[in-house]
Chain A
Amino acid sequence: DAKTTQPTSMDCAEGRAANLPCNHSTISGNEYVYWYRQIHSQGPQYIIHGLKNNETNEMASLIITEDRKSSTLILPHATLRDTAVYYCIVRVAGNTGKLIFGQGTTLQVKP
């Protein structure tokens, strides 16, 4: 599975969009980009995943560059409850199952 690089920490004002970048320059053609978050003292929560097209769900949007070497997770209207560690993970969907977690980005949403 390809390695990812994320900033260690970011701040965002409440109500504004939070844009969390991720670099995955060695991604393979059959690898998906996944985003999870871990709110303090809880288990990780699935947010969204995609292969090459942009994706949107009720939680967030995922923008993947055309060359697939980087992506951005967008929380359109951040709230204080979005304060968490956000993990960008690249993996082959299907048989392997396992997720390789990096250190993630600590997002602090401030009032």
Chain B
Amino acid sequence: SAVISQKPSRDICQRGTSLTIQCQVDSQVTMMFWYRQQPGQSLTLIATANQGSEATYESGFVIDKFPISRPNLTFSTLTVSNMSPEDSSIYLCSVEVEGRQETQYFGPGTRLLVL
């Protein structure tokens, strides 16, 4: 498996501000993803973080609102821009590990509350 850490683990932010969430993995991974889990809901994929190129976004998510970086094989960031209370969610990164591409591992999540 892979050990995945996310920073911050939780935050309370004011509307109109932006927050950058970091995801660090302890091993090289083939793919990294960002998910959102709104209160009481299931997980929804935001985008696939591609190393060295622009992320691939799912329908309903755009780069201006959720810019993503992935500078190397083990690190990615997700920024939630110009936040509103509707952005209050848990944001999770996940990875597929080299040699075990059939399995996806999830980080502990970042709990965001926007006031």
Contacts and interface: CB of A to CB of B under 8 A. Distances in A.
Interface string B28-68: 00010100000000111100100000000010000000000
A46 B33 contact: no
Contact residues of B: prevailing secondary structure: strand
B42 A97 contact: no
A41 to B, nearest CB: 8
A58 to B, nearest CB: 13
B106 A97 contact: no
Interface in A84-103: 87, 93-94, 97-103
B106 A103 contact: no
Contacts of B45: 98-100
Interface in A67-87: 87
A24 B1 CA distance: 27
A97 B108 contact: no
Given A32-B102, A97-B48, A44 B43 contact: yes
Given A42-B108, A43-B108, A45-B106, A101 B101 contact: no
A46 B104 contact: yes
Contact residues of A: prevailing secondary structure: loop
A97 B109 contact: no
A99 B96 CA distance: 11
Given A42-B109, A43-B92, A43-B109, A99 B42 contact: no
B44 A101 contact: yes
Contacts of B106: 43-45
Contacts of A42: 108-109
Given A43-B107, A46-B104, A103 B96 contact: no
A98 B95 CA distance: 10
A43 B108 CA distance: 5
A93 B33 contact: no
Given A49-B103, A97-B48, 12 more contacts: A32-B102, A41-B109, A42-B108, A42-B109, A43-B109, A93-B101, A93-B102, A97-B104, A98-B45, A98-B58, A99-B45, A104-B42
Interface of B: 1, 4, 31, 33, 42-45, 48, 58, 92, 94, 96, 101-109
